[in-house]
Amino acid sequence: MVDLNELENLKLFAKRNYDAFVVQFPQKLAKKEEKFFKNFKKINGGSIKKLLNLYTFMDELYEFVRRFTPYNNAHF
């Protein structure tokens, strides 16, 4: 059975992390994300090159995002 207090704590934790994420998200990274998706279809070199570009961008994005995950905060 689910502990309702724990569920509420998890909701509060998620809300606090989301609010902090939104405030702290770097403008530079937001612009890079927007540019990435505009240019993704234009990448020449086939699927492998597209995947490499995607993974490179996602590594940078996740480097920032991971600070706001339960795993990083040792919540679970």
Asked if residue 69 has pLDDT above 90, the reply is no
Q: Give the pLDDT mean for 44-48.
A: 88
Q: Can you tell me the distance from the alpha carbon of 61 to that of 39, in angstroms, rounded to the nearest whole number?
A: 17
pTM over cut 0.85? no
Asked if residue 74 has pLDDT above 60, the reply is no
How many DSSP H helices and E strands does the chain contain?
Answer: 3, 0
Q: Can you tell me the distance from the alpha carbon of 65 to that of 76, in angstroms, rounded to the nearest whole number?
A: 17
Cα distances (Å, whole numbers) of residue 73 to 38, 49, 62, 66, 68: 33, 34, 15, 9, 7
Q: Which tokens in the block code for residue 27?
A: 């403008």
